[in-house]
Each structure stands twice: as C-alpha cells, then as structure tokens.
Amino acid sequence: MSDVQTTPGSQAALRRANRERVIAALRESGSLTQAEIARATGLSAASVSNIVRDLRAVGAVSVRQTHSNGRRARAVTLRRSPGAVVGVDFGHDRITAALGDAEGAVLARETIAYDVAADPGRGVRRAVWLVETVLAAARVDLSSVRAVCAAVPGPVDLDTGEVGAITCMPAWAGARPAADLSDRLGVPVAAENDANLAARAELAEGAGRGLRHLVYVRLAEGVGAGMVVDGRVFPGAGGTAGEIGHLGLDERGQVCRCGNRGCLETHVGARYLLEMVPAQGAAGTPGSVAELVEAAGAGDPGARRVVAEAGTALGRALAMLVNAFNPEALVIGGDLAEAGEDLMEPMRRSLELGALGSAVQRVKVARGALGADAVLRGALATAAASADSSV
C-alpha cells in the first residue's frame, strides 16, 4: 500500500501526516520494528526508514538492533514528545538559526552576517533559507519541526504580532515576522522580544536560576530589558514592558530616535557609543561595539572612558528600576556586557548612589551566564514549551 493520500496540500504537510501515523503506532504498541511500523501504518519501508531517521535525529526515538522471525531487525522506541523546534534570532546585522530537540536543547546552529535592519521581507526570506540550511545539514525534515520562535530586537504587540515603532530596526515597525515565517515554513511560529527571551533563558539555566524577580538588561544596537515577575516574564499590557532604553536621563541631552532627549539609549546604544569614540573613522578606530570592548580591554584610554561613562549612565537608569521594582537580581547581557568590569564597576557605583540602600543590599548584580547564546536558548525553550502545550 502506498503512503497516506491527502487532499491538496504541500509535501511538508504530507510528510507531517505520515510522521504522525508512525508516532501514533509507537504510542499505541510501544517498541516496534520498522517492518511492523510499515504494516501498522500502511507506509512503504522506505518512508518508514526516512521518518525514523528524522525522529532519531531530534532525539524523539531510540533505535536498537534486534531479531524478528529469525532475521535481524531495528526496534524503534518512542523516547519523548517527538519533534524538533527551531529558534531564529534576528540581530541588527546578523541572523542565527538553531535546531533544538523537543526539550529545547541545541542540536545544530548557523549564523550569517546580513543587513537585517534594511528590509523585513528580505530578512524573513533569508531566515527561511538559513533554517532550511540548518535542517538539511542535520538531516532533519521540515515536517519534523513542531514550532518556531523568532527573536526580534523590539517590542512585539501581543494581539497583532506586529513589531512596535520603537524597535532599533525602524524598517521593521509594523512587520509581522511570525506570520510571514509561518506562511513560508508551514509551521507554527511565535515572535517575541529578544530581551524577554534572554531573560527566560537566564532564569531557567543561567544567572537567574532559582530567583523569582529579576531584570535582564540587553545592551546591543538598542537597549532593552526582560522583566521577570514572580518567575514569569512580564510583557506589559501591549508588549512594551522593559523598554528601558527610553528612560530619560538628561532633558537637555542628545535627541533619541524615539523623539525624546537624553534617553538611556543615547548613552549606551551601539550607534551612540561609537559616535563618542575619539578620532572616529581613523585607521584602527573601533567600528563596532565588539571592537570598542576589545580596545578598552587593551587599555585604550578613549575606549575605556566611553565604556565607563556608559556604565555610569546605565547605573543611574537601573537605580530607577531597583527603586520601583525591587528585584532580586540585575543580569547584564548583550555586546557591551563583554567589557566586564570596565562597564560593571562604574555601573555598580552609580547604582549605589541612586537607589535605596535597602533595595541595593538585596539585589544581586551580575553578568549573564549564557553570554551571546541567551536569546537563542530562550527562543528554543519557548518553542519547545509551545509545542508541548499544543499536544
């Protein structure tokens, strides 16, 4: 008997339907040989072999050698909620895609440099290509993917899925990356703010493990925070909670892209920091935050001053959060956090001057434990949780 027939639909939908038949047979009967699976589902031996290979690649089944009717056979056993998940991290100038198992553990990943900020449509198409590349390299079929989570550097409206106007990628304002990705991949996709996803990862397995109230601060092209209240990320009424980059620090300061003056982002955002570097544009002058951090670490006095002043401004803003929110921890991540104590020491001093003493005494201040992987790991964990809830 040939593979299951369906009314008009994509090849991915057909493969997914066949895969579900195999899973159902394993759930009903327990361990089966591949020949027994073929008989139970009506699928061809070749189709069963391919499906078992994909399920094994994502850790959903175990396969062992056995004997059936005096012949060697392969026994297949369902191990966990089957299926893979995918995380996509849209950075300002790069895209990362990762394949995870049903529990959100990273199985494979790939990063490419790309001008994501320029055009959301092109960025989504490039992300689809990257996801397909990662899946092909891992020998996992798209039909095995149960959920995708995309990280976006900006607020995402909880009702519409639209990226908010204050994202550091203005061309993305109003875009709906989750819907666009889902249309192209044929898989359920969610989009969420990158700082929120990083906060979720640090809470589960990083610097915030075991805590209930924390603020994760992401210092990248823009500045955002993931607010964790009673063990859960708090997005706010419309998804804009944690946009601390637009806390006002100086009413006579530089005009921010949001239209206000002296926002925190004008002191610690990537573009603004690089504008402060002495002899900008000269040979050897830092052209990225990573290069600025490297120069500061090497003792360059101008770079160290820029990083230290960023730390002081950040401490002032965080003092407001500590007074208002009284968290157990402040976790600092993102590109600028790689400056270490060049950033953290002036930040702590400024925080202590601006916050209530009782609140400062209780708050733990630390760099993120997951580094640059925090966002992607949060995306995979979110996708895995979404897949589980849909079962």
Number of H helices, E strands in the chain: 13, 13
Is 84-197+378-389's fold the same as 208-369's? yes
Cα–Cα dist 144/231, whole Å: 31
Bigger pLDDT: 321 vs 105: 321
Q: How far is CA 391 from CA 31, 247, 383, in A?
A: 21, 41, 13
Handedness of CA 130, 88, 168, 333 (dihedral sign): negative
> How much is the average pLDDT of 189-193?
96
Q: Superfamily assignment of 84-197+378-389 in CATH?
A: ATPase, nucleotide binding domain (3.30.420.40)
CA 47/CA 14 separation, integer angstroms? 11
Q: What are phi and psi of 78, to 5 degrees?
A: -70, 125
Question: By 3-state DSSP, what share of the chain in percent is helix, strand and coil, each rounded to 5?
Answer: 45, 20, 30
Domain ranges, ordered by start, for the chain: 11-78, 84-197+378-389, 208-369
What pLDDT does residue 82 have? 60
Token readout for 383 is 């996708």
Give the containing element (helix H, strand E) for 346. Answer: helix 341-354
Task: Compute the distance between CA of residue 364 and CA of residue 208 in angstroms, rounded to an integer.
Answer: 9
Q: Report the CATH architecture of 208-369.
A: 2-Layer Sandwich (3.30)
Q: Read off the DSSP letter of residue 165.
A: T
- Which pLDDT band, with edges at 50, 70 and 90, does 342 fall under? very high
pTM: 0.79
pLDDT at 73: 79
Domain 11-78 has CATH 3.10.310.40: no
Q: Which tens digit of pLDDT belongs to each residue from 234-289?
A: 999 989 999 999 999 999 999 998 899 999 999 999 999 999 887 755 667 888 99
